[in-house]
A and B are shown apart, each in its own frame.
Chain A
Amino acid sequence: MSSTLTRPPAVVVADEPAFADPPTLGRRSVFQTAAGGGAAVRHGLAVAARASVAIVAFLVLWEVAPRVGWVDPVFLPPFSTVARTFGRLVGDGTLLTQTGTSLARAGAGFAIALVVAVPLGLVIGSSSRVSSYLSPFFEIFRNTAALALLPVFILLLGIGETSKVAIVVYACFFPLLLASILGVRTVDPLLVKSARSLGIGRVALFAKVVLPSAVPTVFTGIRMAATSSVLVLLAAEMVGAKAGLGYFITYTQFNFQIPEMYAGIVAIGLVGVTVNAVLVVVERRLSRWRAA
């Protein structure tokens, strides 16, 4: 800034950068610059403490309530009992097997839906012609809850793997499809105009402008799909299956293995948190260019 104000701009090609406005600091947090090493650690501990207050309070309540008789310990065993059972089930491999079965189904269904729905959504989003043919059709199925079709899937595909994977595909399909359509349609028209003014053709325009700008929106759909894939799969496993976390929960309930049932529920919670965390990391990697 000062360089241009005090010095007449010279007529040379590569002069010094003369900014009236300093470069922004980008990703660096202004709050972290002053803090030393010890302060940073203390800051981190404080954050962790704040984050765990509610969780710890919940677990304490879970531990105390059955012990003092607020709830029947037979139907809600104390957290320590559930935790011990959880440890035992992890140790003997039961939970890992059941979780693995469920994750394999959810993963397979999710992957199939991803491969079909995202390209289809991108096409529908960029072509109003295709959209006019397919949108009413999809609108009907989108509003038909996946679980309502569960009996149909079981009748047609049996209670084996196929029906489970199929219903996950169905449940994941629409969040992915709609997010992809939206992602293409909400591309900044100025970016398209600017790219076209550079003489960029249709295919390159799609690859270089439309697709990258659709990524964040598509990712919103991916996270929604992941959530509903787990949800729908568990329900399907509860209704008719021979393995999987959903099956494990209903099985233990019927056999009055209540601590085991709660251990299964805890496992589902952990799976959900983990899946979401993984997706958040992937999303961050794919959209590093975004502010904040």
Chain B
Amino acid sequence: MTAQPRLAFEGVRKEFDVRGTAQRFVALEDFTLAVAPGELVTVVGPSGCGKSTLLDLVTGLSAPSSGRILLDGRPITGPGLDRGIVFQQYALLPWRSAQGNVELGLEGRGLRRAERQRIAREHLALVGLAGFEQRYPHELSGGMKQRVAIARSLAFDPEVLLMDEPFAALDAQTREQLQDELLRIWRATGKTIVFITHGIEEAVYLGQRIVVLTPRPGRVRDVIDVDLGDRTVGSSTDLRSDARFVAYRHRVWDALHDRASAPADEAPAGDAPATGTPREVAHV
């Protein structure tokens, strides 16, 4: 890790006015985290843990109530092309082709048309969509739309890629494929990625580090370093059933459920029930 983090949160707090009352709603409190260049950090937490708030803050669409967010040592003052966002619902312009959508972030940068088109084609190829440049979003499947959105966010070469539960709307098989694709793209581009999810498995599978948040107000419960060995070699086997993977998943699950007062319906949905009871798994 280098001395200066790419993205640094320093005691970030965000509160909102509650409409019609004098109360203040604290969405995020004392959030401190340093993301190193080239790191893939996953942020996992139940709903109400301030994930969306966090995203808006990093995007620059809103400012922290206190604390600072630094990108390469400089405070974030507004939206900019040094950060790319991938939304859960793709957010593609339906009247533009895949190519046109990728070009969106490249427009207004003084690039020539031919240059824009070349960059867009390259990035569509990077996400495995060569040959689909002229398709409109309604002609693409959910997984392909999200690939276009990823290509769009990478095309203008941002310092940091922020992903807000990008695979949550996809079916399980497509999701696993895109997770592998993301890891491949991450290795190929060396981007710094902050990946927000509510899936424990997804957080463990993708993250070099996992930040576990607790809800109301959103705070960092735990930061877990993940070491699953060389995953490029291990990808031919089922990493998700590996003992180390299961142990990490259990640790994250424990961290999320530490807060016994949280109602059951706010427990992170999805992964844990489908893969057996985490309690039966032995600790490492």
Contacts and interface: CB of A to CB of B under 8 A. Distances in A.
Contacts of B138: 24, 26, 289-291
Contacts of B184: 9, 11, 15
A139 interface: no
Contacts of A23: 132, 135, 139-141, 144
Nearest to A25: B139
Contact of A11 (B129, B142, B144, B188): B188
A86 to B, nearest CB: 43
B143 A17 contact: no
Contacts of A198: 79, 81, 104-105, 156
Measured as residues with beta carbon below 8 angstroms from the partner, the interface class of chain B is 35 or more
B94 interface: yes
A127 interface: no
Contacts of A288: 136
B104 A290 contact: no
Nearest to A22: B141
A208 B104 contact: yes
Given A9-B184, A21-B143, A289 B128 contact: no
Of B60, B94, B96, B232, chain A has the most CB atoms within 10 Å of the CB of B94
Interface string A135-160: 00000000000000000000000000
Contact of B94 (A14, A27, A200, A290): A290
B133 interface: no
B79 A19 contact: no
Contacts of A194: 85, 87, 91
Nearest to B109: A199
A191 B180 contact: no
Interface stretch (B24-32, B169-177, B220-228, B248-256): B169-177
A8 interface: yes
A212 B143 contact: no
Given A190-B87, A191-B91, A18 B135 contact: no
B235 interface: yes
A20 B143 contact: yes
Closest 7 CB pairs between A and B? A194-B91, A21-B141, A291-B138, A26-B139, A17-B128, A289-B95, A20-B174
15 contacts: A13-B125, A13-B188, A19-B143, A21-B142, A23-B141, A190-B91, A191-B91, A197-B59, A197-B79, A197-B83, A198-B81, A204-B108, A208-B93, A212-B95, A213-B95
Given A13-B126, A191-B91, A193-B61, 14 more contacts: A13-B125, A17-B130, A19-B128, A20-B173, A21-B171, A27-B139, A194-B87, A195-B104, A196-B79, A198-B104, A199-B80, A200-B108, A208-B107, A213-B95
